[in-house]
Every structure is written in structure tokens, then in C-alpha cells.
Amino acid sequence: MKNFIIFGPPGAGKGSQAVILSKKYNLKHISTGDILRDEIKNRTKLGLKVKSLIDEGVLVSDHIILEIIESVIKHSKGYSGFLFDGFPRTENQFTQLKRMLEKLGHRVDAVISLVVEEEVLIKRMLSRAQIEGREDDANPIVVKKRIETYREQTEPLIDIFTKRGNYFTLTGNDTIENNFKKICNIIDNLETK
Ligand code: AMP
């Protein structure tokens, strides 16, 4: 089993890569953002609880996120690994993820990080709002807040990933196809180790 994290700020293109990578490598794609948006769409208790936080561009509590992750991991069968997208976003989330995987005899095999300048992120999110109708992408103030939240609470993880090794950075400015090829290369070379 191989487990990966696709990492980067909002709008970096993590989701696009995650969809094609999970298909190619039979990975269970776990996007915490997608799961939370589904909860909101279905008007569940959890959805109602997290809606205002997502609308503001701030993080949902670690406790809620970790419960979701634990449950998805537990109920996923038949995959060759997990691909975490938009998770972990805090140091505690990463620590708990490692604990959960260790219990199953697994680990995070690699972290693939997409690096994109802020201007490009903002433009992308505002245009994605029109295509996908995501409310948290449509408002420039919320978009800025999400980037700020990333810088403050999520970016410090890079230090931890770097020290751990198997941390790969790519420019998210490249085309989806080029980055996909580069990530496949990383994964394929890991597998031969
Ligand atoms: P995303 O689609 O990954 O950009 O996530 C959309 C929103 O969902 C974020 O702005 C957060 O409010 C919330 N969210 C998604 N994943 C997490 C996470 N791992 N930890 C905390 N909040 C999250």
C-alpha cells in the first residue's frame, strides 16, 4: 500500500491532479473539502456546523476533520493506497494521520507539493467559482482569507515534511498534463526503491 499527500495552497491544482492520479494508481482520493461540501449540500448536521467556517475561509476543527478521515480510511476497501487532498492542514492533523496509518501498518510514502504564486491562485479561484459555483471561491475577501489561513496554519508543515524526506515540490504553474507526468515519475521511482 502506498499513501500520498498532495499539498499546496487553495487553487494550486491539487484536486485536478488527485482525480487523475487516484485513477491511475487505484488510490482512494480523500478530499476533505469535497466531503465537507457534500455534507453542506445534503444539509446534514455536520454540514450545518461547518458551513459558516467554510464561508469565512477559516479551518474546520481538527476533531471534525480527523473523525472524517478515520471513518473514510476504515470504510475504504480494495484500494492500493490513499491520496490525501486538502489534508493535513495543521501539524496536529499530520501527527494524527501518521498515527492512524501506523496502526494499520502503513505510512505516508511521499508528499507532493504544488507551488503557485499568490496572484495566480487568486485569479484561478475566482474563475473556478464561475465554473464550479463554489461560494468560497467567488468572494475575493474569502479567497484572501483562505490564502492567509494557509500561510499561517498549513504552510509550517513544509518544514516538517522537508525534514522527514520524500517531499517533492513542483510548480503548479505548469500544465495539468506536465505535472501529472512529473508526479507519475516521482511515484514510479518510489515504487522501485
Ligand atoms: P478545500 O476544498 O480543500 O479548499 O477546502 C474548503 C474548505 O473546507 C477550507 O477552506 C476549510 O474551511 C475546510 N477544510 C477542508 N479541509 C480541511 C482540513 N483538512 N482542515 C480544516 N478545514 C478544512
Could you read off the pLDDT of 136-156 as tens digits, one per residue?
899 999 999 999 999 999 999
Residue 33 CA to ligand 1 center (angstroms) comes to 5
What is the average pLDDT across 181-186? 97
If 0-12 CB within 10 Å is exposed, 13-18 middle and 19+ buried, where does residue 52 land?
exposed
Please report the pLDDT score of residue 191 as a whole number: 61
Listed residue (126, 115, 184) closest to 151, CA to CA = 115
32 close to ligand 1 (CB < 6 Angstrom): yes
Cα gap 118→192, rounded to integer Å:
36
Cα gap 163→40, rounded to integer Å:
37
On whether the CB atoms of residues 54 and 10 are closer than 8 A, the answer is: no
Q: Which atom of ligand 1 is nearest to the CA of 93?
A: 19
Please report the pLDDT score of residue 132 as a whole number: 86
Residue whose CA is closest, atom 1 of ligand 1? 33
* pLDDT band of 134, cuts 50, 70, 90: confident
* pLDDT band of 173, cuts 50, 70, 90: confident
Q: Is the pLDDT of residue 192 over 70?
A: no
Listed residue (80, 27, 88, 83) closest to 60, CA to CA = 88
46 close to ligand 1 (CB < 6 Angstrom): no
On whether the CB atoms of residues 184 and 118 are closer than 8 A, the answer is: no
Listed residue (68, 79, 64) closest to 28, CA to CA = 79
Rounded to the nearest integer, the mean pLDDT of the chain is: 95
Handedness of CA 68, 22, 183, 166 (dihedral sign): positive
Q: Is the pLDDT of residue 121 over 70?
A: yes
Cα gap 155→67, rounded to integer Å:
22
Residue whose CA is closest, atom 2 of ligand 1? 33
